[in-house]
Each structure stands twice: as structure tokens, then as C-alpha cells.
Amino acid sequence: MADVILYTKPGCPYCHAAMALLDRKGVDYTEIVASNDPARKAEMVEKAGGKATFPQIFIDGKHIGGSDDMSALDRRGGLDPLLAA
């Protein structure tokens, strides 16, 4: 299984949607609550190429984007191969 990391913010509906999609697929992931931790948020923004919105999702170190990006990738059939790597 792939290494999946989500940088999240409490109460974020997009974060919840992203985690729900991964849960439905049975994927173990690491959630990093970064919104109230300046160091973690800076780490996220740097890794995400300047994006500061939540969530930011990474699969095996590759930046996937946010919840909408991951959902679109799933609809195109591109998410499962990344998760199976």
C-alpha cells in the first residue's frame, strides 16, 4: 500500500471528504493537523508548491492536490493505481 499523507484543518469539509474517500477505499493514511501549527503549515506549503489551502494530499511523496483534485483523479481511474503502488 502507498504512503498517504493528508495535511488537514479541524472542521474542514474538504478534509472530511478526502478522508471519507480514502476510508471507503480501505486506505491507511497519516493525518497531520497543520492549521494551528505554523511549522507544519509551512512544511505543507513548501511541499505543495505554495498551496496553503486544506487539505493537501500526498501519495508516496507525490503532491496530489486537494480533495477535489483527488476525487477527480479517482473518477478518471488514476487514484487506485497510485494507492496500490
Structural domains for the chain: 10-84 (3.40.30.10)
**The residue to which cell 493525518 is assigned:** 31
- pTM of structure: 0.95
What are the tens digits of pLDDT across the range 31-85?
Answer: 999 999 999 999 999 999 999 999 999 999 999 999 999 999 999 999 999 999 7
The edge-to-edge listing of strands for the beta sheet with 30-33 is 30-33, 4-8, 56-59, 62-65
Task: Give me the pLDDT at residue 1, please.
Answer: 82
